[in-house]
Structure 1
């Protein structure tokens, strides 16, 4: 993949000439602009662990896929299904399997247990029960975390600082 360069060495020299005292800040800005963008990062967040059953669904039409990626069931918008674990097998309506993906269409939310989440969900059964894992893009995760941890009417700089802290915590 080829990345474009938006600054040149001449541009760097110009930034340095703007202020001798802040040349290092100009260098940092230039280096950040030259660095390739980070690819989307998908996080895994365990929502339910080793429970006997969990209710799942979506805010938009939602598909249930097997581990091969084949659609095995479709749920209507705001529809739900109960996933029951028994002896390492996951039962959803008439479907019996070890694991499934729950994927809402578009920008829909996935319902796991009693809460809504961005992204998609993996349900996996073992001899101890069913585990539900939310797979969510880092940026989508941050929308939820920042809005859930502090009032959204706070100053924009405070929200940005919270986003930086949350991103750092997740990545390290």
Structure 2
């Protein structure tokens, strides 16, 4: 998909989905209940960062990473490189909110389905263990396609097992 198509078609849907989730998870968005540090994994166009700042205010400490930075301030880090992500977190402590929008469906595509699910679950587990603050929230947004949804449910089941 071309960047212009992503900006036109996907980014607005991501923003709407994320705002709906934020309203459910953080219905009271005052300073005591909202996140302070936010990690946007796969920041791309900046839709998630813009939405989080719109919802919580501009004083969030945001770290945005992507394999190919498309917006200013995005750090070039492979989202599967948990040690590199941990180094980003170490300066200010763990993250209260992590957003991974349209990331998992792009990873490990050459793997057999069973191995892919195991690797995705291991990665998400490491993100939570190494980067997320106690009581923090990880929000995963993926395309609502049958194959993608089934894979995401399998990752969830693997993590809960």
- Give the TM-score of the pair, scaled to structure 1: 0.27
Structure whose CA Rg is larger: 1
Higher strand share: 1
Higher helix share: 2
- Give the TM-score of the pair, scaled to structure 2: 0.28
